[in-house]
Structure 1
Amino acid sequence: MHLAITGSIATDHLMTFPGKFADSLVPDQLDKISLSFLVEDLDVRRGGCGANIAFGLAKLGHRALLVGAVGQDFETEYRGWLDAAGIDTGGVLVSDSRHTARFVCTTDDDHAQIATFYAGAMRESRDIDLFSLGQDFDLVLIAPDDPEGMLRHTQACRDQGIPFAADPSQQLAWAEGDVIRHLIDGAEYLFSNDYESALIQQKTGWSEADVQAHVTTQVTTRGKDGVSVFTHDGERIDVGAIDGVVAVDPTGVGDSFRAGFLAGVAADLSFERSAQVGCAIAASVVETKGTQEYDLTREPFLERIGSTYGDTARDEVDAALSLT
Structure 2
Amino acid sequence: MPACKDARMQDALFGGVNAAVLTALAPDLSPDPALMATHAAWLLAHGCNGLGVLGTTGEANSLGLQERKQVLEGLVAHGIPAAAMMPGTGTANLTDTVELTLHARAQGCRGVLVLPPFYYKSPSDDGLFAYFSEVLQRTGGGIALYLYNFPQQSAVPFSLALIERLLKAYPGAIRGVKDSSGDYANMKAMIDAFAGDGFEVYSGSDEYLQRILAEGGAGCITAASNGNSHWGGIVYAKRTGPEADAAQAVLTATRRAATSVPLIPGLREIIARSTGQEGWRTIRPPHLPLTREQGDAVWAAWQAAGALPLPGLTPARRAA
Global fold match (TM > 0.5)? no
Q: Which interval holds the TM-score relative to the shorter structure?
A: 0.3 to 0.5
Greater relative CO, 1 or 2 (CA 8 Å, sep 6+): 2
Q: Normalization by structure 1: what TM-score?
A: 0.39
Select the structure that is richer in helix. Answer: 2
